[in-house]
Amino acid sequence: MNDALIKNYAEKFTDRRSHMSFKKILAIGAHPDDVELGCSGTLLKYQSQGAHVDIVVCRDDNAPRPSVWRDREKMQQEYKKSENLFGIKFKILENPTDSDGRPVLTWSSKFVKIIDDIVYNGKYDLIITHSPGDHHQDHVNTYNIVNSSLRRWKGEFWLMEGGPYSNKNQQFKPNVFVDISDYIDKKIELISCYDSYFSDTLLHNIKGLAAYRAQMTNSKYAEAFECKWRTI
């Protein structure tokens, strides 16, 4: 789908949601920082309008094994900073580990049941998670777990964009664009909590992606989503 067709469809979708509000929102990320990167501006916006927001993190590190690439203890300190800034206590799920002590995030009926309990007890009307075409295997597995959990759930299910480095995701077809112009600075501040990973260049590119997506909303900054389904 070319940009002109996306814009034409997006204008209809964005306008339909301009008068729409959500009472309870659940955002599910594979790792700390994923929700901040993909949908924090939207969460902040709806939060300011009175929505209750919950955030679930499926594993509390992003490293191939402890002390490699991203130190687990350091990352835990970083997501606690983000929690304080967000004003939301993240629900961190416990993962089984492999022989190297690495948390394993894979589809299992046990994991689906954990998400089931969160989803159906929470009575959410909007759930956001990763796109199945994301480049990171943990993100794909998180999508598969969440998608399995929503078989009887009714509401809106949105897939978030992975970031400026996920442009190879050909499966991501955005059809919802949320104006986050009033929240872009706080979004960048939230992402900056993870200073062990996000460089100034990455932060610049993240803001640039939001500016690009804003072309669909006649605003300065926006986040893009694919509405996978809407059931009442």
pLDDT digits (tens, 9 = 90+) for 18-45: 446 799 999 999 988 899 999 999 999 9
Residue that wins the pLDDT comparison between 144 and 5: 144
Query: Which range marks the domain in which residue 178 is found?
Result: 3-230
Which stretches does DSSP call E strand in the chain?
24-29, 52-57, 91-92, 126-130, 156-160, 176-179, 222-230
pLDDT digits (tens, 9 = 90+) for 121-167: 999 999 999 999 888 888 999 999 999 999 889 999 999 998 776 55
Task: Determine the Cα–Cα distance for residues 131 and 225; give it in Å rounded to an integer.
Answer: 9
Share of the chain above pLDDT 70, in %: 79
Task: Output the CA angle 114-23-151, nearest 5 degrees.
Answer: 40
The pTM of the full predicted model, rounded to 2 decimals, is 0.85
**Secondary structure element (H or E) that encloses residue 74, with its range:** helix 72-86
pLDDT of residue 78: 87
pLDDT of residue 92: 87
What Å distances lie between residue 204 and 33, 174, 178, 191, 219, CA to CA? 16, 22, 19, 11, 18
Q: How many domains does the chain contain in total? A: 1
Task: Output the CA angle 73-80-69, nearest 5 degrees.
Answer: 35
Binned at pLDDT 50, 70 and 90, residue 6 comes out as very low
Check which CATH number belongs to the domain holding 55 and give it.
3.40.50.10320
Average pLDDT over residues 96-101: 64
